[in-house]
Amino acid sequence: MSHPHPTPHPHQPIPSWFPRGVALLREPTLNKGTAFTLAERDALGLRGLLPAHVLTQEDQVARVLENFHRLQTPLAKYIMLESLHDRNEALFFRVLTDYPDEMMPIVYTPTVGLACQEFGHIFRRPRGMYLSLDDRGHVGQILRNWPQHEVAMIVVTDGERILGLGDLGASGMGIPIGKLALYTACAGIDPGKCLPVVLDVGTNNPRFLSDPLYLGLARPRATGEEYDALVDEFLDATQEVFPGVVVQFEDFANHNAFRLLAKWRDEICCFNDDIQGTAAVTVAGIFSALRVTGRPMREQTFMCLGAGEAATGISDLLVQAMVDDGMAEAQARGRCWLVDSKGLVVAGRGDLAHHKKPYAHAHAPVPDFLSAVKALEPTAIIGVSATPNTFTEDVVRAMAAHNERPIVFALSNPTSRSECTAQQAYEWSDGRALFASGSPFPAASVRGRHFVPRQGNNSYIFPGVGLGLLASQATRATDAMFMAAARTLATTVGESDLAQGSLYPPLSAVRHVSAQIAAAVAEIAFAGGLARIERPRDLLAYVEGLMYDPRYPVYA
């Protein structure tokens, strides 16, 4: 059922610059299609250009859903929604906002991964900005080609590590597009202030290099100084062209993600959702799970399968949560373990990347994940490896052998990369697992109990964080903000959610959740002297007042 909005949309006068006639119907940010009233049709030169029957936006939503449900494949549904976005932006966001459970898996994970793989073959109309190596020396000038001049949020990728799918080059543009759609649908950030960007530095994907429909530079991926020159020029230009804009790094490979965040986080307002957003949503899920187990954070032992951006970001925030619970930092760090393709990450290994070293503890080598689980008996396992089916029956049963309520988070995206399914986790633990996943899984029944697993999806976190940064006009995005986001998200999970195995709130509540997170993030900015405005008296009301409303205006 559609969720009605609480207040009517205000009437708006028709400005002198407003397009008329066919030009208006072809402008997606203003087009209402068959919902233009008779008075608007008279005033805007639309008589005869539309069928006589005036529909409401609710009527149009029903028509969209009818056609959506006729389609048989997720990719076909993705193409349909993108075409709707190209025609009628407000209707697109109304559908996303009112039906998040159905629409978010299409516009973002897991379907967006397939859309990126097929990007050149399903391309209809450009969206966002494509900046390539050929544009060096002119990036600022090119950014000024963007028609909106009040950009406040940029999501940028170089396409090297798209979800668990690897190097998709310029075809990775689907990720910033989808991410920014969620910023608007989940947190009400004005779509006119959002800019998706892909930095096209080539690709090492042989399929794309030989595909005549690949839309990016068909050359090997740039590295070193050539790569850094484009990234640095782009980030400098963002602040010149769009002063104070927030930049979110998305799906950069490990070797670039950590160093770019470290280099720029104290220079501009930026964050890496794969590192910090994933950490926050995971820690929020852990907080929820511990309400069920009744055991405090300081008694936990965590093991991540995977040792990249997500794993180290999660571990860093878990350490902070344990420190907040009274542990010394060194002791807390010792409770977090990583397992990579070579086995348990331990201090004796000589081939460790810099980001793994804080979690390389003294221990004998352990060759695989199952052996590590048996040796260290973690209370929680967190899959961020992008390697499917690695939480095997033996692994889950080993977890269940030493934990009354084993915590099993299979967070890799898309669904094809998940470490295990919800049904498997519940069955193999005899219904005792506390489960979360990165992509949606259906409800499951085991031993007479009905479970409703929910996603540990970053869409619970990054939209609210972004809104909080914009609301406070923050100069920096800090780790304390992501901890505040995690704690706030966890408080929105009710006892009835936990009773059915849900460690996160329903997606239908995501706009409310995002507003709460935004207020908490903004509070950190104000308290830390990072805000460029004075603190409003009622911060939550102020945040809610900034949120984009996808209902149509009525032009008087």
Sign of CA dihedral 540, 544, 547, 550: positive
**DSSP conformation letters of 507-541:** GGGHHHHHHHHHHHHHHHHHHTT--SSPPPSSHHH
CATH code, domain carrying 540: 3.40.50.10380
Residue 8 reports pLDDT greater than 50: no
Q: Do the strands 449-451 and 444-446 form a parallel or antiparallel pair, or are they unpaired?
A: antiparallel
Spatial distance between the Cα atoms of 242 and 291, rounded to a whole number of angstroms: 43
Q: Is residue 553 part of a domain?
A: no
pLDDT at 9: 58
Catalytic pick among 32, 77, 99, 179: 179
Residue 5: which pLDDT band, with cuts at 50, 70 and 90? very low
Q: 357 an active-site residue?
A: no
Q: Tokens 């804009």: give the residue.
A: 245
Quickly tell me which residue has 């990579």 as its tokens.
340
In a domain, 120, yes or no: no
The reply to whether 179 belongs to the active site is yes
Residue 472 structural domain? 460-545
**Quick one: DSSP state of residue 280?**
H
**Chain-wide mean pLDDT for the chain?**
95
Say if residue 7's pLDDT is above 80.
no
Last residue in a domain, options 268, 291, 324 = 268
pLDDT digit string, tens, across residues 197-247:
999 999 999 999 999 999 999 999 999 999 999 999 999 999 999 999 999
Position 109 confidence tier, pLDDT thresholds 50, 70, 90: confident
What percent of the chain shows pLDDT beyond 70?
A: 98
In a domain, 231, yes or no: yes
**38 and 147 housed in the same domain:** no
Give percent of the chain above pLDDT 90.
92
Confidence class of residue 10 from pLDDT cuts 50, 70 and 90? low
Average pLDDT, integer, range 105-110:
92
What is the mean pLDDT of the segment spanning 405-424?
A: 94
**Domain identity same for 44 and 145:** no
Whether 446 has a pLDDT exceeding 60, the answer reads yes
Last residue of a domain, one of 457, 477, 499: 457
469 with 426, same domain: the answer is no
More confident residue, 447 or 79: 79
Cα 136–Cα 142–Cα 147 angle in degrees, nearest 5: 160
Amino acid at 190: D
| Assigned domain for 550 exists | no
pLDDT, average across residues 421-432: 97
- Confidence at residue 163, expressed as pLDDT on a 0 to 100 scale: 87
Asked if residue 245 and residue 286 are part of one domain, the reply reads: no
Which tens digits make up the pLDDT trace of 125-140?
999 999 999 999 999 9
**Residue 119: inside a domain:** no
For residue 13, name the pLDDT band (cuts at 50, 70, 90): confident
Q: Does 144 share its domain with 40?
A: no
The CA distance from 104 to 109, in Å, is 7
β 153-157/194-200 pair status: parallel
Q: Is the pLDDT of residue 362 over 90?
A: yes
Taking 90 as the threshold, does the pLDDT of residue 182 lie above it?
A: yes
On whether the CB atoms of residues 245 and 239 are closer than 8 A, the answer is yes
CB 504 within 8 A of CB 280: no
Task: Judge if 287 and 376 occupy the same domain.
Answer: yes
Q: Which of these is catalytic: 32, 77, 78, 108? A: 108
Tell which residue, 383, 462, 409, has the closest CA to residue 178.
462
Query: pTM surpassing 0.75?
Result: yes
Mean pLDDT of 156-169: 95
Out of 109-113, 153-157, 292-296, 366-370, pick the least confident: 109-113
Report d(CA 128, CA 199) in Å as an integer: 11
Number of domains present in the structure of the chain? 4
Q: Looking at the structure, do residues 353 and 250 belong to the same domain, yes or no?
A: no
Residue 499 placed within a domain: yes
